Amino acid sequence: MGIWAKEIKTIFLFLFTIVIVGSFTELFWPLMFLLLVAIIARQVVQISRFEAWINRGGSKKYPISTGIWEDLYYHVYRIKKNEKRRKKKLSLMIDQFRQSTEALPDAAVVLGINNEIDWSNKAARKVFGLQVSDKGQRIPNLIRHPGFIRYLKSNDYQTSVTIPSPVDHSIILEVRIVPYGAGLRLLLAQDITHLKKMERTRKDFVANVSHELRTPLTVLKGYLETLQDLDDGQSLLLTNSFLQMQGQTERMQHLVDDLLLLTRLETQKKKVDCVDIPALLSQICKEGDDIESDTRRIELTLECSAHIMGEEQELRSAFTNLLGNALKYSPENSLVKLHWYQDANSVVLAITDKGEGITKADIPRITERFYRSEVKRAKKVNGTGLGLAIVKHVLMRHDAYLKIKSELGQGSCFSCHFPINRICEETNGVLPKAGVQ
């Protein structure tokens, strides 16, 4: 029988007794009143006992009671017990998580909504010089490196920032912020001193080797030219050998020059001037046309007269590389178009050709050093595989980026996008009418 039915049955039993006794005596209403008072008094006592028990935490053994109240006590006691078990499990899990993150070699700091420290692991305390007592302190007050502050404020945490450790400047840290939950962030830092050292060694090695190769190459080239001058053309084998040697030394010279340029781009401080891009492009196109044989293949459209803050030599070498590629990888009589224009967010140089195009798989890879796509060509096209790596580096140093659109067999469009804030005085916009040169 249900607990409610039992309760109701008891009340009805009392009511029935009162009706019987009341029909023989005059006591029906007083007895009825007494029954009501008794029921209310019982409920009040039970409620106050229940409240006292809940106030004590409700998890200890509940007082002995009967009927619906026993059921109520039992259910609440069970819920409380389950909750206690869950809490215990959760705190065990948190303890284990903290112990494991404490043992992590990488620094981890949990930041609150206002960049205050919620928790930090042992590695974080070591590399950032934090104390356990720094809990609640705002992180920008403790890590004051400008690069870090800029990164923290940027709210763009797709990338990371490299900073020296505030405790020991010889330690280089790669810091990354990972947002999670509602406004919470996890700050992770990895010691990359070793990687930086290796990178430095690689750069030094390439720079030294390229530099050391320069002199022997110049000597070789010099002797080769003398020998070619002395060649009377009697021996075809000798003449061909000289031509081969000349081709190969030139190739090596290009390689060494490109490697040295890349090293310079990686190591040298940036110089900035206001560069007259339309003039620079006109000059590059003229040089390109001069090198090309009889047909005029280059068409330059200067839709905008914007000058750019940057380093002229670097920009010249990037644009020359792109134009050189467009000419190299397209048929001898096809047109290569250069377009300098401004859109809502950037100033763009687009170089379009109707050449061999690039496969979808190759597009992301062609800016890697020494990567050359393997296309079957009618004639061999010389190259070092460093041209686009140079372009990428130069653009990076100008806060710009390279976009490549290409269709195999149809042609390619390489566009350099410079941010508008790079435009420098002298000009501020669009030419009165588009000029095609």
Burial letters 218-232, b for 16+ CB under 10 A, else e = eebbeebeeeeeeee
Q: Which stretch binds ligand ADP (CB under 6 A): 7-15, 214-222, 274-282, 323-331?
A: 323-331
Phi, psi of 282 (to 5 degrees): -60, -45
Task: Identify the H or E element spanning 8.
Answer: helix 3-24
Is 325 a binder of ligand ADP (CB under 6 A)?
A: yes
Our finding on whether 320 is near ligand ADP (CB under 6 A) is: no
Contact 199, 162 (CB under 8 A): no
- Which residues between 385 and 414 bind ligand ADP (CB under 6 A)? 385-389, 412
Among 134, 311, 314, 353, binds ligand ADP (CB under 6 A): 353
Q: Does the footprint of ligand ADP cover residue 259 (CB under 6 A)?
A: no
- Region of 8-16, 212-220, 259-267, 365-373 interacting with ligand ADP (CB under 6 A): 365-373
**DSSP three-state, residue 395:** helix
Q: How far is the CB of 351 from ligand ADP (least distance, A)?
A: 8
Q: Does 317 bind ligand ADP (CB under 6 A)?
A: no
Shortest distance, CB of residue 370 to ligand ADP, whole angstroms? 8
CB of 435 to ligand ADP, least distance (A): 24
Give me the long-range contacts of 169-176 (CB less than 8 A, separation at least 24): 171/127, 172/196, 173/107, 173/127, 175/148, 175/151
Q: Does 373 bind ligand ADP (CB under 6 A)?
A: yes
Binding mask 103-142 for ligand ADP (x = CB under 6 A): ----------------------------------------
CA dist., res. 271 & res. 320, Å (int): 20
Question: Which residue lies nearer to ligand ADP by CB, 305 or 384?
Answer: 384
How many chain residues interact with ligand ADP (CB under 6 A)?
A: 21
Member of 107, 117, 188, 358 binding ligand ADP (CB under 6 A): 358
- Taking the complex as a whole, how short is the minimal distance between the CB of residue 316 and ligand ADP, in angstroms? 15
Return the number of the residue (191 or 353) whose C-beta is nearest ligand ADP. Answer: 353
Contact, 172 vs 162, CB < 8 A? yes
Distance (Å, whole) CA 350 – CA 161: 31
Residues 251 and 338: their CA atoms lie apart, in Å, by 27
Stretch that binds ligand ADP, among 51-59, 147-155, 277-285, 371-379 (CB under 6 A): 371-379
Q: Give the CA dihedral 382, 384, 386, 388, nearest 10 degrees.
A: 10
109 Cβ partners below 8 Å, 6+ apart? 117, 119, 120, 121, 124, 128, 130, 139, 186, 187
Interacting span for ligand ADP (CB under 6 A) from 25-33, 279-287, 324-332, 338-346: 324-332
Binding of ligand ADP at residue 337 (CB under 6 A)? no
How many Å apart are CA 285 and CA 298, to the nearest integer?
7
383 binds ligand ADP (CB under 6 A): yes
User: Which residue number, 278 or 383, has a Cβ lying nearer to ligand ADP?
Assistant: 383
DSSP string, 233-297: S--HHHHHHHHHHHHHHHHHHHHHHHHHHHHHHHHSPP--EEE-HHHHHHHHHHHHHHHS-SS--
Q: Interface residues with ligand ADP (CB under 6 A)?
A: 321, 325-326, 329, 353, 355-358, 366, 371-373, 383-389, 412
